[in-house]
A and B are shown apart, each in its own frame.
Chain A
């Protein structure tokens, strides 16, 4: 390992920029003649729009223009789309409710955009938005997924019966039911997977620009995938043709999934910039983020696990109602289906699994991928079931798990996935040792003596990252391919620019990706720049989500590096008058193997561009290569997290006193960055388990938790001592052996915490978030 290569624990190069306030975010960008957008949002969960009167707004000083949904319709613009078609068990495609950027006739959740006011200043636009008089005819709303299909539930989309978008199933129902019939023990569990609100530190923002001279549009926006954003805005919404639209996603301050999607606001800013021929900017206020960022989770599930007399898992079945919100967001249909049902085998060898999911519309903000996306929901089902089964059958929860672990690979699960590698025993053994599992009873007694209830909980999770190959995900309904692209440009002076289709919004790609390049080209990391986030400079790429950028994005870079090295060796061979196979690249030089004859890296690069020393009829000048990489399989990170906590029975307060995580992420590029990803993910998981809850009022459909006064974000003092370790079974599906680490913490932690909490209080009757009030009440019963 070089000191800047794969495996090196080096500081993040981008942090100097971020920490010193020199980052360049969308809101930092200002263009001449710029105006501001402010959205008129529905105060009602469900209403007919019977009139929009902009007269008073237009009379205000500084108000430039007011647009409504009718104006966009008149311009022939399409609505926002969902890029994954799920097919119901009766063979029917999912039922899609129209999603206009500005609602022309009917509003479907509090915060739905009705009109936009363009002003010379933010203040003018906002005052204008308040002055737009919208007449509403209020209608009843439904916000709870479990009630959406009721006979008398108000319809979110008039033409969609029972608010049912899809009724999907996966697995063999007959085989599963048969296994349950002969089970010695069946464990049941009713679960609510609470709604989460993403809360990236940088709110969403957009700046649309139009050049009437060239007809070119530019959109600066907070996107995790600028090329996909451009494709949707051109091919589906129809704002501008793809070659006339440039999307720039500059520094982005956190996404967690919520910035994958194409939203109404950036669509409107881009379109309005063309209409009024001035740049139009919008930056969400935090209150708008709460209302309009796509939320996460929100499942209601009944699940069962069948065991034989020895404690072997025979079958698992689950029925889930997934809240999709008022409209389908960009990938929302895939989250509670293919990213959820496929994970229900966990780390276990289970012969039969059947899952049914009803995706329902409600009068709430759209729900889509949020860190983990379906996999935390699946892990919560499996790991709570397993823990409960162990308690019901008086078995040690670690032993019951080990008895049922998959130990032979590859392993075909009954729910599509084919696990290629892993060592689940290694993770649970190491984690148990780290937390000193066998002495837990002693610690429990010590806690008892000071009036505390102590519990311990396991979560042995599996994750599927880097969804692939593209033809397989296409057959499941994906509207896109899930490969990644890279271009490696060696400049004449020898330094290197790498253009990646991935996008960094906190993950540290500028460092990790450069470590790969430094490792392979044997050049200093300072000589490498990672370029991302601009459709004008970077070739089409798929962006960053689903912990895919190391497994897929770096593999594409690796492929381009192969080509660069091959070509450079050919050039070196010409100059040194040997065969390419005689050349080796080491210590930033091309050397004839076993000799001291060499060309330094920089000299080779210059030669590639001067093209004086080789025949350009045999070798093209230049040194720049592109690769697209489509993995052969998903990767399967897995691990064991163990949480130990104490409950104060007088107040219901939960204190996590110890937390260990042993994860198998395959090859690790930068351990410091990976540890940071686990820390953040675990904190988000603890947030879901104990603190965070997106709550809509059942009667009015108002968002009750619309600010930090009521929505409990994890704070520094909520961070327990986290102790991490790693095991490594390299992923065989990509050349680097990496698996992905971005979501593991958020996937594993909720089950570990709730398993520990239910162990502490001695019963299972508590739901997330386990707030002090809920825990106290649970102890009283």
Chain B
């Protein structure tokens, strides 16, 4: 790593103040992407402000119609929270399948969605459930939050504080992991929400997570795996790499979507 100054914040206010101290500071949460990036000398921030240890950002709160998760809550806590699992089992299942036990005990929900890796799992849950991302400045709907590959609506130094997931009537997540990295090669989150059927796809899109409206309409008419027969995204809009060409990913999106729906039937 290149040398940098490390600050550990104990409150949001302190984090905001620390970010302003230098003009090339970066937020650190679980560090599961940022630390390897630093180790490879691919980033050289002057200062890191660690918000991962702020207690006020580490919680799971189950409300009547939603589940609210603090931005610095590690995946393992989301996966293991019994009350959350009762309300949105698909979210607990998703969190329990991220990376490996090391990653799940350190990586955070806020860190994952702020990074918006096109193969990360959480963006699919946020988008399919119609989550609201609350920051220290405003509320952002998931539909507006994920703007492209590693791109979000967050402004410089804006801090995610919590994510509110409306409780769906039914939901499920299925992913096909990249054999090497275990990130999603194709991950599909399906949900029957108050606002209608929503389907979000991660791991496959050239612009990151996206909604599959064709699947949504088909499922709105007929919530069954059969309704998805023949519906896949166009390969033109999908990633191609060593582990899966675009046509294979398009096929996997269909298979994962069907398997997700089948889980709920």
Contact = CB atoms under 8 A, between A and B. Distances in A.
A287 interface: yes
A771 B243 contact: yes
Contact of B242 (A123, A650, A704): A704
B62 interface: no
B242 A705 contact: yes
B242 A710 contact: yes
A143 to B, nearest CB: 15
Nearest to A126: B41
B40 A709 contact: no
Contacts of A127: 2
A354 to B, nearest CB: 36
B84 interface: no
Interface string A490-513: 000000000000000000000000
A482 to B, nearest CB: 37
Contacts of A34: none
A651 interface: yes
Contact of B179 (A126, A650, A771): A771
Interface string B168-182: 000000001001110
Contacts of B180: 691, 705, 708-713
Interface string A682-694: 0000000001000
Contacts of B3: 123
Contact of A773 (B40, B41, B248): B248
A710 B251 contact: no
Interface in B138-191: 176, 179-181
Interface in A689-736: 691, 695, 704-705, 708-713
Interface string A122-147: 01001100100000000000000000
A771 B244 CA distance: 9
B255 interface: yes
Interface string B13-41: 00000000000000000000000000011
Interface string B220-255: 000000000000000000000011110010011001
A695 B242 contact: yes
Contacts of A123: 1, 3
A713 B41 CA distance: 24
Given A130-B41, A287-B40, A651-B176, A773 B181 contact: no
A650 B255 contact: yes
A776 interface: yes
A265 to B, nearest CB: 19
B179 A772 contact: yes
B255 A651 contact: yes
A364 B65 CA distance: 58
Interface size, B (range): 10 to 19
A704 B180 CA distance: 13
Nearest to B259: A650
A773 B181 CA distance: 15
Given A287-B40, A712-B179, A712-B180, A776 B251 contact: yes
A612 interface: no
Nearest to A648: B255
Interface in A758-781: 771-773, 776-777
A709 B181 contact: yes
A776 B243 CA distance: 12
B184 to A, nearest CB: 13
A466 B251 CA distance: 50
A130 B42 CA distance: 12
A649 to B, nearest CB: 10
A691 B181 CA distance: 12
A652 B248 CA distance: 10
A665 to B, nearest CB: 32
A650 B251 CA distance: 9
Contact of A651 (B181, B243, B245, B252): B252
11 contacts: A651-B252, A704-B242, A709-B181, A710-B181, A710-B242, A710-B243, A712-B179, A712-B180, A771-B179, A773-B244, A773-B248
Interface of A: 123, 126-127, 130, 287, 650-652, 691, 695, 704-705, 708-713, 771-773, 776-777
Interface of B: 1-3, 40-41, 176, 179-181, 242-245, 248, 251-252, 255
Given A710-B181, A710-B242, 17 more contacts: A123-B1, A123-B3, A127-B2, A287-B40, A650-B255, A651-B176, A651-B252, A695-B242, A705-B242, A710-B180, A712-B180, A771-B179, A772-B176, A772-B244, A773-B244, A776-B251, A777-B248
